[in-house]
Amino acid sequence: MSAYWISTYVEITDEEKVAAYAALAGPALIGAGGTFLARGIPEQVYEAGRPTRSVIIEFASVEAARAAHDSPAYQEALAALGDGAVRDLRIVPGV
């Protein structure tokens, strides 16, 4: 069953660190089998929504998404991000 990595940027404190993270994270996550479905600032928000950068990545399974997160390549990206952003990241199984 597919799984979805959903990340929202609650706060960006250092654009340069976010750019360094993105340069490493994209290839790491694609290399781990992820497919980017959406990324960017929302065109519209409703209810308690906030106009913050959001990313949705599809993986073959929850296990594949976890493995991508825990991979050395993605951990390198996280190290580059450091304190450059506060994010909410969750892995949600598909239906």
User: For 35-53, how does the pLDDT look when each residue is reduced to its tens digit (9 = 90+)?
Assistant: 999 999 999 999 999 999 9
**Whole-model pTM above 0.75?**
yes
| CATH number, residue 89 | 3.30.70.100
Provide CB contacts within 8 A for 57, sequence distance 6+: 4, 5, 7, 29, 34, 35, 36, 37, 65
Give the torsion through C-alpha atoms of 75, 59, 29, 27, to 10 deg.
170
> Considering its fold, how many domains does the chain have in total?
1
Check residue 26 and give its pLDDT.
97
Check residue 40 and give its pLDDT.
95
CA distance 84 to 24: 14
Q: What is the mean pLDDT of the chain?
A: 97
Mean local confidence (pLDDT), 78-82 = 98
Q: Residue 7's domain spans which residues?
A: 3-93
